[in-house]
Amino acid sequence: MSLKIHVRTTVNGEETEFLCEGRQSLLEALRDILGLTGTKEGCNDGNCGACTINLDGRIVDSCLVLAAEAEGKTILTIEGVASIDGLHPLQQSFLEQAALQCGICTPGFIVAAKALLEQEPDADEHRIRHWLAGNLCRCTGYDKIIRAVLDAGAVVRGAK
């Protein structure tokens, strides 16, 4: 059995330390070591986007990142999207537009869409469809998700 690795990182604004094995993915560390189970595993090979997190400002599939690689990095997971003041416009919009059915893909979609709206709050339908093509949803057919992101974009840029 290998010696565990000590990792120091910032998760959802909190300085966080954990011990992991060299073979553990960041997804495993978040879920099994830190108990942040809002980030979901759908495929464990980077094809579904259910484990999307924001790592130093970029969205990544956390199943494709080793836990040890998080050393010194800043992580945002779905648990850090809402604040004490309330839900993020995307979360509110997903609820109002019924943009989720089973909800297993929802955390990944919201984390991915949040990164888009921070750069391009006026992203149009095609841009959103392109940006979210790495996140699979099997329930909705994407229609209501796209509408929810368009709607949240309007809120983020103050048009609604």
DSSP string, 95-146: HHTT--SS-SSHHHHHHHHHHHHHH-TT--HHHHHHHGGGS--SSS-SHHHH
10 vs 87, beta carbon nearer other proteins: 87
The dihedrals phi and psi of 80, each to the nearest 5 degrees, come to -100, 5
Q: How far is the CB of 26 from other proteins (least distance, A)?
A: 15
| Contacts to other proteins by CB under 8 A | 1, 21, 23-24, 31-32, 35-45, 47-48, 50, 77-79, 81-82, 87, 90-91, 94-98, 100-107, 110, 125, 128-130, 132-146
Q: How far is the CB of 65 from other proteins (least distance, A)?
A: 17
44 vs 74, beta carbon nearer other proteins: 44
72 vs 113, beta carbon nearer other proteins: 113
Q: How far is the CB of 15 from other proteins (least distance, A)?
A: 20
At residue 133's C-alpha, the angle toward residues 139 and 131, to 5°, is 125
Distance CA 72, CA 68 (A): 10
Tokens of 33: 């070591």
